[in-house]
Structure 1
Amino acid sequence: MTGRDVRSVEDLLALLDGLFVDTPKWQDFYGDRDRPVPFFAAKPDENLVSYLERGLVSPGRALDLGCGPGRNALHLAAAGFSVDAVDLSPAAIEWARERAGEAEVRFLCGDAFTLELGEYDFVYDSGCFHHLPPHRRVSYLSLLDRCLKPGGHLGLACFAAGSMGSVVPDTELYRRGRLEGGLGYSEDSLRWIFEDLTEIELRRMTSEPADSPHYGVPFLWTALFQRT
């Protein structure tokens, strides 16, 4: 044995993961259900509701990435989708299963990049992408290549640069060893990252009042892309 750490791409990605000291502790985050966090409520994202109401996305097989307590997964199931929902946090998955009741959602606890997943007509991500370090965008795009069917859609909600997420350049993030609470993206950067997909819609999330049945905050981008 040489004491070396890297022999494969996955070894390299894991080594880079370890450079960041502020990786969110999702078990602790979801462990306290009484925290006054708006998206803890069982409300689907307003853009997701809009996609379905306008017929931009039709029922099929769906994957909810970073599902948390299951608010969007449950909305998809109620709309007629067959849903797999993935989160790293056992506390989040436990909460989601309690919420689900008899709803037909398969909740999976683990790393979506390494789990054995199938192919999907719709992949939805509300809040996972902006917590990934830059090198994990490679893993994310590889996941889409494996899991998103031709003609399928990716729905995304993520921090907008200058409103919520960090605008620190990628190289500086590695120097600091911090994700700064999440990464903010511009329209151009999202279009560049997902340039192999066709853009259907890219806009800010609509602000929703506290008594709305939907979740909406204006510091998030919402995007809908299609694999052609």
Structure 2
Amino acid sequence: MDRNIRTVDDVLRLLDSLFAPEADRWTAGAASWWDGFYADRTKPVPFFVSKPDENLVSYLDRGLITRGRALDLGCGPGRNALHLASLGFEVDAVDLSPAAIAWAEDRARAAGAQVRFHCGDAFSLAGTELGGPYDLIYDSGCFHHLPPHRRISYLSLLDRALVPGGHLALTCFAAGEMGSELPDSDFYRQSRLHGGLAYTPESLRWIFSGLAEVELRRMRDEPPDSPCFGEPFLWTALFRREAQP
């Protein structure tokens, strides 16, 4: 007889287990699934290109975010981390997949970019060299792969690691375009995430209501010859953590 629920972390791990083996996409055991995903670097996956997100470039061009210390969550092959480093940011980048980190490190060496890469679980950064604080936390496609209960972990990470006055910028699946639109409770009934969760602007504003909205819009569709990555099935959002009095 198991009686092993005593803390919030115990509850979160129990809920993680309901999605096994799909949980391997976001938990510490995700290496095998994502390593297979990143094994062939020539696959025609849109975000395999070595280009920064168009919204990130836009934020920087308009001065909405300024140079400082940045964390790239779910960095993949490192395209956004390298862009930030090229502009003088001090960049930490984390991903669960050793294959993704190896590819990102190869790109960084080729570009002569200084990025500190970390292979592991972003929710376990507290107490490590990647614990922050950060002026910018950037997330290009990590948030929509989390099960609903892990939003608690995500918001806790922001509370720990984002400085007052700092920014969260993210891209995620747009409802009506990409991702599952099932109610949160149905994911637990079915023990599946159906490839990722879709969000509406209203849901994003509610989830991140503790932050001030700077901009929320659809990602622009960028042509193949553009220097930026852009796909219109994604929301782009920029939020600011208000400076404390």
Q: How would you bin the TM-score normalised by the shorter chain?
A: over 0.9
- The counterpart of 2:79, out of the listed 71, 76, 79, is 71
Q: Structure 1 residues 175-184 or 9-18, which shifts more? A: 9-18
Structure 2 counterparts to residues 110-125 of structure 1, below 5 A: 110-115=120-125, 116=128, 117-125=131-139
- Whether the aligned pair in 2 keeps the contact of 1:130 and 1:158 (CA below 8 Å) is yes
The residue that corresponds to 1:192 in the other structure is 206
The residue that corresponds to 2:228 in the other structure is 214
Structure 2 counterparts to residues 126-141 of structure 1, below 5 A: 126-141=140-155
Larger proportion of helix: 2
- Whether the aligned pair in 2 keeps the contact of 1:5 and 1:15 (CA below 8 Å) is no
The residue that corresponds to 2:56 in the other structure is 48
Percent identity between matched residues is: 69
Distance 1:87 1:219 in 2: 23
- Quote how far apart the aligned CAs of 1:134 are: 0.2
Distance 2:207 2:90 in 1: 28
Matched, 1:105 2:115: yes
Structure 2 length-normalised TM: 0.91
- The counterpart of 1:167, out of the listed 181, 195, 208, is 181
Distance 1:200 1:142 in 2: 21
- Quote how far apart the aligned CAs of 1:34 are: 1.8
The alignment's C-alpha RMSD in Å is 0.9
The residue that corresponds to 1:176 in the other structure is 190
The residue that corresponds to 2:30 in the other structure is none
- Quote how far apart the aligned CAs of 1:122 are: 0.4
- Whether the aligned pair in 2 keeps the contact of 1:65 and 1:128 (CA below 8 Å) is yes
Cα deviation per residue 1:39-64 (whole Å; 9 max; x = unaligned)? Answer: 10111000000000000000000000
Q: Which amino acid aligns with 2:60?
A: L
- Quote how far apart the aligned CAs of 1:5 are: 3.0
- Quote how far apart the aligned CAs of 1:13 are: 0.6
Please, which runs of 5 or more residues in structure 1 have no aligned partner? none
Cα deviation per residue 1:86-139 (whole Å; 9 max; x = unaligned)? Answer: 000010001100110131100000001012211000000000000000000000
Please, which runs of 5 or more residues in structure 2 have no aligned partner? 26-32
Partner secondary structure for residue 98 of structure 1 = helix
Structure 1 length-normalised TM: 0.97
- Quote how far apart the aligned CAs of 1:9 are: 1.1
Distance 1:202 1:218 in 2: 13
Partner secondary structure for residue 135 of structure 1 = helix
The residue that corresponds to 1:92 in the other structure is 100
Runs of 4+ in 1 over 6 A off after TM superposition: none
The residue that corresponds to 2:14 in the other structure is 15
- Count residues in correspondence: 227
The residue that corresponds to 1:3 in the other structure is 2
- Quote how far apart the aligned CAs of 1:4 are: 2.4
Distance 2:107 2:185 in 1: 41
